[in-house]
Amino acid sequence: MRKVAVVGIGCTKLGEHWEKSLRDLSTESGALALKDAQVEGKEIEALFIGNMSAGRFVGQEHLAALAAEQAGLNPIPATRCEAACASGALAFARACSSIQAGEHDIVVAAGAEKMTDLKGTDAISTLMGAGDQEWESSMGLTFAGLYALMARAYMKKYGLTREELALVPVKNHHHGMNNPYAQFHMEIDVEKVKRSSMIADPLRLLDCSPITDGAATIILASEEAAKRFKNPVWVRGIGQASDTLALHNRADITYIAAAEHAAKKALQQAGIGIGKINVAEVHDCFSIAEILAYEAIGLAERGKSKDLLNNKETTIGGRIPVNTDGGLKMGHPVGASGIKQIVEIVKQIRGEAGNQVKGCDYGLAHSVGGSGATCVVSVFGKEEPE
């Protein structure tokens, strides 16, 4: 199986882009990635784009063909990938597969979402398409409600306090201050989180990722093609797993089993343990999601995530910094978030990040679709695999 490297990255500013369309955003991030890689469009052999719900958000289906057209890439094959909030990560995985299989040498993996054209209630309804329509959304549940159930169950089982839960957004807002792409640039503290508006008990407004417009793109190359690029970052392992769509069918709602399976596979492919990872980007759509991610990927034992937060081990300067760009709390354009995470990991390994981790040789990206029905975990390294 052929090796794969990331040779170019691009990301738009995340936020409310009233003046830009979905095609504008995807084209902008693509142009930035091509410029970063110093390749021309005619060298791209295939395009994979992650998108959750452009049809409902902006009335545009058939997004892959549109992205290829706007980038001037016709007639290459263009494929849209959908796995809710893990859509971008899935596009990346499929792009890697096409290179590993020998189909292509230089490929685009992208993600894009334009969410703010809908009013908030309609956007929330659209997002619930990632849940179980019959058993969840039709009953009035939202994703804030689902993650609130997970949070309450976890707090009761493991003794996590409201103050400890708030340490997640406090950390991520702090990290986001040095991220030029972030939707927000403001420090917060535990009391501010606790005073923010209640969304679904115990989750408050500052526990929740925002509604965001944005796009991100990476350029991937085979080992032969990567020889011409400076500073390639190597894909060391990819794992994907699934679980029940409906939360009530899970064996344990305080644990994301799909993430555990995906992480184990990715780390096994990489030939390293979690202890070798220097930096991680994990799916923090709600504060509890980051806590569950720590345990699923192996950073903490079950019920022990609070120790990492209390000891600031996942803060810049700590043992394993997590969400060094502020995570999804600093912008969550759902179809693009999985690619955005990879952009930050690549920057860290290159030594170009805003909150640079010293001696960053390995990074991990963890992306979740829905409440945990899909998970994609990817591992990256500075050195080419043997």
Domains and CATH numbers, the chain: 4-119+212-228 (3.40.47.10)
375 carries an active-site annotation: no
Q: What is the chain's pLDDT, residue by residue, as a tens digit (386 residues)?
A: 899 999 999 999 999 999 999 999 999 999 999 999 999 999 999 999 999 999 999 999 999 999 999 999 999 999 999 999 999 999 999 999 999 999 999 999 999 999 999 887 888 889 999 999 999 999 999 999 999 999 999 999 999 999 999 999 999 999 999 999 999 999 999 999 999 999 999 999 999 999 999 999 999 999 999 999 999 999 999 999 999 999 999 999 999 999 999 999 999 999 999 999 999 999 999 999 999 999 999 999 999 999 999 999 999 999 999 999 999 999 999 999 999 999 999 999 999 999 999 999 999 999 999 999 999 999 999 999 98
Catalytic residue among 332, 360, 366, 375: 332
Distance CA 95, CA 88 (A): 11
Catalytic residue among 11, 81, 85, 375: 85
Distance CA 160, CA 181 (A): 32
Helical segments of 183-223, H only: 190-195
pTM tops 0.85: yes
Nearest to 117 by CA among 333, 285, 346, 349: 333
- For residue 150, the Cα-to-chain-centroid distance in whole angstroms is 20
CA dihedral sign of residues 128, 265, 325, 112: negative
Contact partners, residue 317, CB within 8 Å, separation at least 6: none
The secondary structure of 77-106, three-state, reads CEEEECECECHHHHHHHHHHHHHHCCCCCE
Report the number of secondary-structure helices (H) and strands (E) in the chain.
Answer: 12, 11
Distance CA 11, CA 339 (A): 9
Tokens at residue 183, please?
Answer: 């939707």
332 carries an active-site annotation: yes
Task: Provide the strand spans (E) within the chain.
Answer: 4-11, 46-50, 78-81, 106-113, 198-200, 203-204, 214-222, 233-242, 279-281, 362-369, 374-381
